[in-house]
Structure formats: C-alpha cells, structure tokens
Amino acid sequence: MSDVSPCSLPRTNARSLSAGYWPLLTVSLGFVMAMLDVTVVNVALGSIERGLVTSLSTLVWVVDGYTLSFAALLLVGGALANRHGARRVYMGGLALFVVASACCGAAPNGAALVAARLLQGVGAALFMPSSLSLLGLAYPGEHERLRMFALWSAIVSVAMAAGPLVGGVVVGTLGWRAVFWLNAPIGVLGLVLARRKLPRSRPDPAARPEVAPHLLAVIMLAALAFVLIEGASWGWASPRIVGALLLSLGAALAFGYCERRARAPIIPHALLRLRGFLGVNAIGFLINFGAFGQLFLVSLYFQKARHADAWHTGLDLLPLMAMFTLGNLLSPRLSARWGTRRAMAVGLGTSALISGLLAAVGDRLALSWLTALFAAANLGVAMAVPAMTATIMQMAGRAHSNIAAAALNANRQIGALIGVAAVGVVLHAAPAWSQSLPRALALIAVAYLAGAMLAARAGREARTTAP
C-alpha cells in the first residue's frame, strides 16, 4: 500500500528510456523487495508453522518483528541518510537486508527466524527512506521527476498486488525458505546497480539524530509488542507482562518529555500545532491497523480454516491486493470532486460497513462471496490512502513535507504492528474460527469507523475555518 498514488503516467520516448531509467529500476528493486516480503510472508505462514512447529505467538512475531524494527527506526534511517549521504546509507541498509534474508532462509527454529526478521526490518528502515531522495536526486528536472515518481508508484502498486500470487507460487513449488533466499540475488543486483547508477549525495555532518528519543521509541514499541503478542501465553496479570506494560508507558512518557525539551525534536513543534495534523496521523494508524490486521487474519483463515495451500491462498488473496492498485487510481478523481477529507471519510466508512457485515455473516459465506467482500473493503481503504497523503502534504507545506511524510509513514507502520498483534490476541482468546473471525472483523470494523469519523470531523472543521 504505497503512499504515492499512480495517477496518469506521461508518455515517454526512446531517448529518455535509454538515457535515464537505470536509477528508477535500481530504487524500485530494493523497495519492491522489501514490500513483497510483507505480503509473501503472510502467504507462507501455514508452511512456516508446519515446517518449524511454531506457536501462534511466534507466527505473530514473524510478521510483527519486521514491522517493529522498521517502524521504530524509520525516522533514524532518514536522519542517518542526511548525515552520511543517502547512497551510502541506502547501500548499507540493502546489504543488511540481504544478509538478514539469508538468515531467515536458514533459520533452524522460530526464535532464529524472528531474530532474522527483526534484522530485516533494521535494513529496510535504513534503505527505504533514502530510496525516494535518491530518485529525486537522479532526476532533477521537475517534469522528469514527476514522471519517474508516477512510474515508481505504479511499479510498487503492481508488485504489492502480485505479492500473494508470487508467494503462492514460490512457497508451493520451492518451499517457504525460498521466499527469503530469492532476496539474495535480487539484493546483490540492487547493490551493484546502486553503486553504478545512483548519484552521490552530499553528507551533512551537522545533521545529528537525537539518540535518546529514538531509543525511547524503540523501547516503547518493543515492550508494547511483547505485551500484546505474549500476554495470552504468559497471562495478562503475570509479572513479565505487567512489567513490560509499565516499561512501555514509562518510555512513552519519557519520549514525550524529551521531545518537548529537545532543540531539534523528531517531529517539529510547528507541525504538532497544525490543526488536524495529529488527526490525520491517527487515521494513518487506523488504516494500517485494519488493513494489515485483516491481511494477517485472512491469510491464516484461508490456510487453517478453509484448508487452502500456499498456491490457492495466493490466488484467493490476489483480488484483495489488486483493490489497492484500483483504489489508488480512483482516489484522485474522488478527491478532486469531493475533497480529500470527504474521500477519506467515504472510503473508510464503506470499509467499516463491509467489515461489520463480514463480522456478522462472514464464516457462513461461500469463499467466492467472502473474497469479494474482503476485496470491496480493501477498495474503500485504498481510496482513502492517497487522499490522506495529499491532506498531510497540504498541511505541512514545503518547509515540513519530508518530516511530515516520515511521521505519517512511521505511524502507519506502528498501526500495522499493533493491528497484527491485536488480531493475534483475538485468535488466542477464541481458537475456534466461528468465534475468532467475527470478533477480529468487528475490531477491524471499529478501527475503520473511527478513521471515518476522524476524517468527517476534519472535513467539518475545515469548512468551519475556511475564509
């Protein structure tokens, strides 16, 4: 689910194609590889469970371990790129991602796989923020840069839509370990191309990231993830879980204190004072909470309740993921007609309504109807995402656009982390699918409904304060 919407793609000519598409291809290789891992791993969950004899909580860690380190270090990756140069940090992060992928493929047990997934997230947090800045450096002309960003967005959207099918084919023919091993040759090719085709950027030694707030953010998210994922196993009142919860709350309070007193806070105070900024970030959190929680839920449901193998799970998930591409294409037209806030409200409201309907009757539907309704819910979400991104960029203006985009992406990744963990809590509490599926879908419906209400409220405030 890319934040950039592939709208109309300008025509290109043979001369421009031969002269300058290598940077686009290079950046896309790394970004697509990292994004594919999200959907492909969900398709492989059943095979991983059988191959490594893992528990449900371990499967949640396999998905959330990657998201945890990625979300916690995303802003650090951007700051390091400013300080040491985007290309250097990009290549370092990509190399780490390749090594971590090889470790995932060779993991002898669930704990080793989770550790390798955490390392993958660190690598992705380093190279993904640099990728877009490198793309902008490679194409300095405004018209050319806009064309390349549109093409990049289209590539990412198509890759995300094809992820389940790719995962089904790979897992079904080569096994789940091949999902990670295939990253090695792709990553090595990406490193070679990056060294030869990506421009150097000037480092800024004065751009020093604040260590304490970032460290506190990592502690806060890691402790919260531990509480949500392991609470059902250890017991919600056990000393470990209560201690982890207190640690997360303490780290959150300390983070807020450091941010208020910092000379260069992670999120500038001017952004926090903007009307609606926190609300749109909350919408981003809720969108990913619902979307990634649903992807985890549906992947397990198809494999464990409907007894689908990896190949058929990939086929069943393909229309669900394709809706994100279609929704990205429709969103600009709806935003132009209704405004971005109304487009968000309508899209998320539709998704909430469909998710609520699925919570009521989903387990009794034929697979074709179930898939169609899940796809329709995803279409509503996909229509809201570009509108949300456009809204936050309009708020931030040129002065704060980069940090606003990074903050929104970080909040969305945190939403994905907690959404998957929350669905895991529901599955732990009610092992029977006849109970857990409607409860988890009701939780997702509530998240979408809250996002729709926030968007509608922001729209009313915008009309009230308009001159």
Contact 160, 325 (CB under 8 A): yes
Q: What is the pLDDT of residue 311?
A: 85
Q: What is the pLDDT of residue 330?
A: 84
**Closest listed residue to residue 50, CA positions, set 305, 313, 304:** 304
Amino acid at position 301, single letter: Y
Alpha helices (H) in 301-366, listed in sequence order? 310-338, 340-361
Contact 163, 35 (CB under 8 A): yes
Q: What is the pLDDT of residue 7?
A: 36
Q: What is the pLDDT of residue 206?
A: 59
Q: What is the pLDDT of residue 16?
A: 39
Whole-angstrom Cα distance, residue 81 to residue 307? 45
Chain centre distance of CA 218: 17
Contact 297, 423 (CB under 8 A): yes
Q: What is the pLDDT of residue 102?
A: 94
Q: Which residue has the tokens 């953010």?
A: 217
Q: What is the pLDDT of residue 402?
A: 65
Whole-angstrom Cα distance, residue 226 to residue 292? 18
Contact 328, 5 (CB under 8 A): yes
Whole-angstrom Cα distance, residue 202 to residue 183? 29
Tell me the average confidence (pLDDT) per consecutive run of 10 residues in the chain, 467 residues long.
41 41 84 79 88 88 90 81 83 94 94 95 86 76 69 74 83 90 89 86 66 86 91 89 95 90 77 84 94 92 87 87 84 84 92 95 84 93 87 74 76 91 90 90 97 83 47
